[in-house]
Every structure is written in C-alpha cells, then in structure tokens.
Amino acid sequence: KAGVTQTPRYLIKTRGQQVTLSCSPISGHRSVSWYQQTPGQGLQFLFEYFSETQRNKGNFPGRFSGRQFSNSRSEMNVSTLELGDSALYLCASSQIPGTNNSPLHFGNGTRLTVT
C-alpha cells in the first residue's frame, strides 16, 4: 500500500506570493492533518480534515488555509508568504479518528523556502 504522498517535494517562493501544497493520503484513510516543522518551533499542528470538514485548527494566522476533497485528498494554501513561513510542511493521514490502531502516518513533506 502506498504511503502518504506530498507534492511538490521542494518549492521556492518569493515574499508576498501564495503557494498551494498537495497531499494524497494512504488509500482508505479519511482523515488528513497538516503540520509545520521548523528548527525553532519543531512540529506544530496546522489543521485536520475529515470528510471534507475541518475538525481542528492550530494557532496559525488566517493566511494558512486548507481543504479536503471527496476522495480524501487535501491541499493547503499559504497566502502572502513571509520569510518565517519557510519550513517543512508535513501531511499525515489516519483511517478514522478515534479508532484503535489508527495512528497518524506522515508523508515526507514539502520543503518550502521563501526568499
């Protein structure tokens, strides 16, 4: 079974631009979560989607948004990019939240560099 797939792997953007990252969860997984990883702040939760609905949201500004499609694939968008948005963005999926043996499985991330 294929793992969580994130595209693109690397991205370079300029301040003020916007970016869209894509995530395909493991087949059969319906929950998708997004995390930001930086050397200074570590791994921080952005948001989680289940059945196309945002279930949880972390403490990030409104410039960060996401959505989930009917096939469980997800995208996250960052508008008006700032230098501090440079990070590894990780997507994770799980089967159905709240069930046994349904831990988060992560993709290898999208490395975003803002110049």
Partner 1 sequence: GESVGLHLPTLSVQEGDNSIINCAYSNSASDYFIWYKQESGKGPQFIIDIRSNMDKRQGQRVTVLLNKTVKHLSLQIAATQPGDSAVYFCAETSNFGNEKLTFGTGTRLTIIP
In the complex, what is the shortest distance from the CB of residue 97 to partner 1, in angstroms, rounded to a whole number? 4
Which CB, 15 or 57, lies closer to partner 1?
Answer: 57
Which CB, 14 or 40, lies closer to partner 1?
Answer: 40
Cα distance between residue 94 and residue 106, in whole Å: 9
Q: Which residues contact 89 (CB under 8 A, 6 or more apart)?
A: 6, 21, 34, 35, 36, 37, 46, 76, 109, 110, 111, 112
In the complex, what is the shortest distance from the CB of residue 30 to partner 1, in angstroms, rounded to a whole number? 11
* Cα end-to-end span (Å), the chain: 37
| Beta strands 53-57; 74-78: pairing state | unpaired
In the complex, what is the shortest distance from the CB of residue 44 to partner 1, in angstroms, rounded to a whole number? 8
Which CB, 64 or 109, lies closer to partner 1?
Answer: 109
Interface with partner 1 by CB under 8 A: which residues? 4, 31, 33, 35, 42-45, 48, 55-56, 58, 90, 92, 94, 97-99, 102-109
In the complex, what is the shortest distance from the CB of residue 23 to partner 1, in angstroms, rounded to a whole number? 11
Cα distance between residue 34 and residue 32, in whole Å: 7
